[in-house]
Structure 1
Amino acid sequence: MKTFKLNPYRIGFRTIKTAAGMAIGVIIAKQLGVINFSSAAILVVLCVKNTKMKSMQAAWARFASCLMGLIFASLVFELLGYYPVVLGLIVLLFIPATVVIGTQEGVVTACVIILHCFNSKGVSLDFILNEILLIIIGLSIALLLNLFMPNRSRELEDYKTNIEQEFQLILSEFSEALKYVDIKLDHRMIAHVQLTIEKAKSVAFMDVENHFGRNDNSYYHYFTMRGEQALLLYRMVGLINNVSRSDQLHQQLSELIHEMSQNISGHDHTAIRLHDLYAIQLQLKDHQLPTSYEAFHSRASAFQLLHELENYLHIKSKFGSLKK
């Protein structure tokens, strides 16, 4: 028997803004004597978004759609009459029109205005002005409320710290795996940090959209850089598992990766580690050539691992330091 389970929910800042905005919208519209004043709440609900940029885009789409719906419905109802069939015809023609001009996000709001026209049984100048005022009240309140957004700097810094700690653990595990034959790596640890990075990028992108006039964000670029490095770490797992512990390179690789794990964020240390890596590459001619298929396979994996480590360090070197 399937049990019913309630999903946990925490009242967030957006929920509080939406509830407050609905109440304020209805109060203002009622005080101004607007007919259908309760519809102001619908406009507020539909326009309060996660970011300032999305709120602006939603407000514009809804204003354009509502205005177009108001004019279109007024003309058609006056010409063909206030019948349910005419209402259906208006919606049938109106929705494709919003798609053509790119304001389809405002269809639901516009349909509310169209229904107001239908219920009025007669469109007048006063009615049109009433609906325009209703639209302005709802959209204005939503836009004003969306000027207040939570500061995500602490959240972004926490993500950065967590990701760097996970990278340190992963590289430490890589180093140990190159020393001890009984340690076998899997991709789950990499998949976990990749998921964390995607969540962090989502938060960073919302932070970008909350700052008008700024089209980039150093945190977003930082998390993108870590995502590229995580992809390389994912590829390294199989290579490390293929490196024989009897190969002369395994100890040098282990020490290099251990040094990399000790300073994940420092830019200066990246240059030092690249120098160490190039030193290992120069010493390759002194290593004994493989004499069996297994040894050749191990050496090939070690060479490829060096290449992936070089790419990993180059990515960090190009990024530099996080600008806050």
Structure 2
Amino acid sequence: MLRLNPYRIGWRTIKTAVGMALGVIIAKLMGLDNYASSAILVVLCIKDTKMNSVKAIWSRLVSCMIAMGFGATIFPLLGQHAWVLGLIVLFFIPLTVMFNTQEGVVTSIVILLHFFNATTIDINLVLNEMMLLLIGLSIAFIMNTFMPSFEKELTSYQNDIEAQIRHIFYAYSTMCSKDTPTCDLSFDQLLLTIRKAKSVAFRDVKNHFVRNENSFYHYFDMRQDQVDILQRIHFNLNHMTVDDVLLPKVAQLFKEMADNVNENNYTAMRLHMLYDIRLQIDDLPLPDSHDALHTRASIIQILYDTEAYLNIKSNFGSLKLYHEVN
């Protein structure tokens, strides 16, 4: 059954429409032949990121120059015949692959067909095609300098991820206080949110010509590392079978971590609480049963994993916005 997607006009669609119209208008006002072809250049060079746009423009510039070279030399020598056109394409496409500009093949073929259909192949035709290239590629470049900011979307992902991690720590605190002995937590949604957030952050990296990294991307990467540790903590919590004198203190530690998930400089105080719990272990008598020993061992492992979780955030530092990065 045919399924229709929601109708909407995106930012890229607007840029393409405006750019095509400008390309045709400018080329026509300059009296260029085949002026509509400038619109083809524009639509093929409008990309989702600035870096992809620059790559597309460069590929089309190089491949079109090669095509003009073939058209200006081969057609006058062998004639404007279909077999000559096929012969040129036979050698032209492998050449673009060699220069890694095969993305511009379609545009180049359009230029090549202009030479194929031209009444006279001379310097005026070459200049006409070069002007079409200049107009189309310049407009595409200008259009692609206008890119939407992803900062609001990335901040929304950040808040969502922190809310899910906060919920996990509250659940851990409840498990340690024995109000709920076990808790069936799922990390799938959290991991999916992090993957989506990293995808958006990576797109934002490609929207800048100078900056080659993104503070948000490293932040989401840090959170992904922490989720791996949270899963290990959850495993050990579910395998504690008896009560332990340390559990209330661990429950308080997890509650403190839940309350301070989104703070940039909370790790030092939480690490102090954690080390204090570990020091108390040395003063406690040894467990007197197998289950009690197993629970104590699980608590010790949980404390080590929690320390690793906190150290990851401590090493990350704080999330800097773009205008704060020198």
Q: Quickly say closer, same or farther: Cα 1:48–1:166, change in 2 above 3 A.
A: same
How far the C-alpha of 1:76 sits from its partner, in A, is 2.9
After superposition, the C-alpha distances for 1:92-141 in whole angstroms (9 at most, x for unaligned) are 32222222222222222212212222222653211111111111111111
Of 297-306 and 163-172, the range deviating more from structure 2: 297-306
Q: Residues of 2 paired with 1:168 and 1:241: CA distance?
A: 19
- Distance in 1, matches of 2:127 and 2:27, equals 13
Deviation at 1:19, TM superposition (A): 0.9
- Output aligned runs, 1:149-160, within 5 Å: 149-160=147-158
Measured after TM superposition, the shift of residue 212 of structure 1 is 3.1
Residue correspondences, number:
320
Q: Identify the residue that residue 73 of structure 1 maps to in structure 2.
A: 71
Matched, 1:322 2:309: no
Give the match for residue 125 of structure 1: 123
Deviation for aligned residue 1:21: 0.8
Matching residue of 1:46: 44
Does 2:301 match 1:309?
no
Q: Which runs of 5+ in 2 are unaligned?
A: 322-326
Cα offset for 1:296?
Answer: 4.8
1:86 aligns with 2:64: no
2:222 corresponds to 1:225: yes
Work out the percentage of aligned pairs sharing the same amino acid.
50
- Matched residues in 2 for 1:254 and 1:278: separation? 15
2:254 is matched with which residue?
257
Structure 1 counterpart of 2:324: none
8 Å Cα contact 1:176-1:183 kept in structure 2:
no
Counterpart of 1:280, as a letter, is I
Q: Distance in 1 between matches of 2:55 and 2:265?
A: 43
Partner of residue 35, structure 2: 37
Matched, 1:283 2:280: yes
Aligned to 2:183: 184
Distance 2:237 2:319 in 1: 30
| Contact persistence 2:265–2:318 (CA under 8 A) | no
SS in structure 2 of the partner of residue 6 of structure 1: coil
Give the one of 202, 205, 209 matched to 1:208: 205
Equivalent position SS for 1:242: coil
- Is the Cα contact below 8 Å between 1:149 and 1:210 reproduced in 2? yes
Return 5+ residue gaps in structure 1 as ranges. Answer: none
Q: 1:6 to 1:287 in 2, by over 3 A?
A: farther
- Give the TM-score taking structure 2 as reference length: 0.89
More deviation, 277-286/10-19: 277-286
Letter in 2 for 1:267: N
Considering only aligned residues, what root-mean-square deviation do their CA atoms show, in Å?
2.3
